[in-house]
Homo-oligomer: A and B are copies of this chain.
Amino acid sequence: MSTSESLAFDPNRGVAAWRRVADAIEADISSGRLLPGDRVAPEQQLAERFGVNRHTVRRGLSALAERGLVRATQGSGTFVEARPLAYPIGLKTRFSEIMAKAGKEARGEFVSAEHGTADAVIAAALGVTSGAPVLEMHTINRADGVALSLARSFFPLPRFLGLDQMFATKGSLTKAYKKLGIDDYKRLSTRITARPADAGEAQSLDIPPGRTLLVVNSINVDMAGERIQATQSRFVADRVELVVER
């Protein structure tokens, strides 16, 4: 304890009351005093605890809700949301490894596949000519059974003939690649945008329509630098936080 004029300093000055409420609740969440699924104390009780009006509490909770830390249900209460899973994006982005590190069971769920031809966008991404044959595959990635992302991937043919069946069997793209003699690969580029989910996506991902998706367009190359995969993934922004690493 220091004793000086700095005793007169109030760290809360210039900090809105609603901000203090929000920060205190966030501290409870960060510290683990409030866990995902836990119910935050009722607004009126928080108002009494912080010595503010209930509206001020609502303002603070609204800020937290906006950031996805809590979710309020009318009549029921305000609950702590599960924290988005940190999803590192780097040279070696491997779904199964990320899940293992997070202590979650990884499952790549095969949805469908078909042979087609590359349009201009896919051709450019894969470094092939427009109209070249490609394998198009649709998958859902789940962690502990909960859908994290939808993926629409393109692979050059005839090199990746049968990859879809191997993936359907193994549930892992890395393993399917190994079967085709590709022991390692890396990320060439990643482009990220975001948008609301459409009805089909929402249903596949088991989220309310309109919730935000992170849209990730990526290109993978084999160790010789040859382009092997172009993917558009749609992550549930509520469930996944992309971490760009150097």
Contact = CB atoms under 8 A, between A and B. Distances in A.
A113 interface: no
Give chain A's interface secondary structure class: mixed
B192 A4 contact: no
Given A8-B67, A9-B67, A68-B6, A244 B18 contact: no
Interface residues of A, number: 32
A159 to B, nearest CB: 32
A115 B183 CA distance: 95
A214 interface: yes
22 contacts: A1-B243, A1-B244, A2-B86, A2-B241, A2-B243, A3-B192, A3-B243, A3-B244, A4-B84, A4-B237, A4-B241, A4-B242, A5-B67, A5-B237, A5-B238, A6-B68, A6-B241, A8-B66, A9-B66, A9-B67, A15-B16, A16-B16
